[in-house]
Structure 1
Amino acid sequence: MSLPFILASSLTDKSKDDTRRVNELLFTELENLQREYKRERQVVDQLTKDYVESKDYDPVRRYEKLKVMVKRTIMHFKVNSEEQIKGAAAAAANQGTQAEALKRCEEKYSKMTRQELIEENTLLSEQIKNYRRKLSIIADLVQQLEDLYEESKRYAMMQRYRLLKTMIKGVIYDKLI
């Protein structure tokens, strides 16, 4: 074999390895975002379930239930935010699970060409972008919910009751999440 062929082959392998490493990082980030979205989506789904169930109550008891639902939803997101800050330590513990998933992909990576890896990286990047967008929308909705909830405290019960219903509907019926 000639030296240029060996160098070209070595460069191709190196660039494929770099592309594979990027793929692994993207895959790991996507898994983390999917887990986070699932957690946040479960909170919204619970709010939806509680809201539907609250329709069976008379307005006075429902008013109290609506307040509790809003407070609990806001609290879940605050706790999740704090957990994300502490998430670096948890991520280290979670690396074992991620390492197993990456090992399963090793065989797949070895059969893929560099171009196929690049295409998959593009798809993974798009999925990551989509999950980040959804997470951002949920965070904005909950922040809005918290702001409106605080503002609603200055209204009388019947006005506040209508505001609470409107606030909750704004979160649970949002089509973008």
Structure 2
Amino acid sequence: MRVLTIAICIILTLPGCSPNHEADAKLAGGATATMSVRAMLGIHSDWHRKFTIGDGRASVSIDLFEDTGWWRGSNLYLHSSGTYVVHEGQNGCFGFTLEPVSFDVRTSISCVKVPGNALSLSDEGPALNGYPASNYYVDLFYIGRFVEAGRIPELRETRAEAPIVFQTYEQHAEPELPEIL
């Protein structure tokens, strides 16, 4: 019984020992958007995830849904209103602002996929602040994506040190995310 108790205690403390790994997106005015992941107990690449935004003076964070195998990356967009949008694919999307730094967004943003028609329906044209218009979402402009390094062939060898990365629109074209559940 004592061995079982010790084993349970060890198993319960192991997840707290895993380090956080972060990927940063550089935004306008020196602001950053950071996704951090911490491994869950198991042999898979399942993650506790957190998203933090900051402008150098203030920062706020939210916990994201845990990844238990469904996560294929999160795309980061700039909406034509100036609101930033993180699209999680099956888990939907959320917005944030930098003035003030907040996840309390009042702008109505649609994350419904409009394949083939999104660019023609965007009021801003083919680019906003240098970011290309989304191929899938109206009035969203693709900044880049947060993704597991293991999903990028040239980074698979480094995923133990940096399991999550941010790729800009210049490094990787906008991937099509799964439909919202």
Establish whether TM, by shorter chain, passes 0.5: no
Q: Which has the larger radius of gyration?
A: 1
TM-score by length of 1: 0.28
**Higher helix fraction: Structure 1 or Structure 2?**
1
**Higher strand fraction: Structure 1 or Structure 2?**
2
Work out which structure has the larger RCO, using CA pairs closer than 8 Å and 6 or more positions apart in sequence.
1
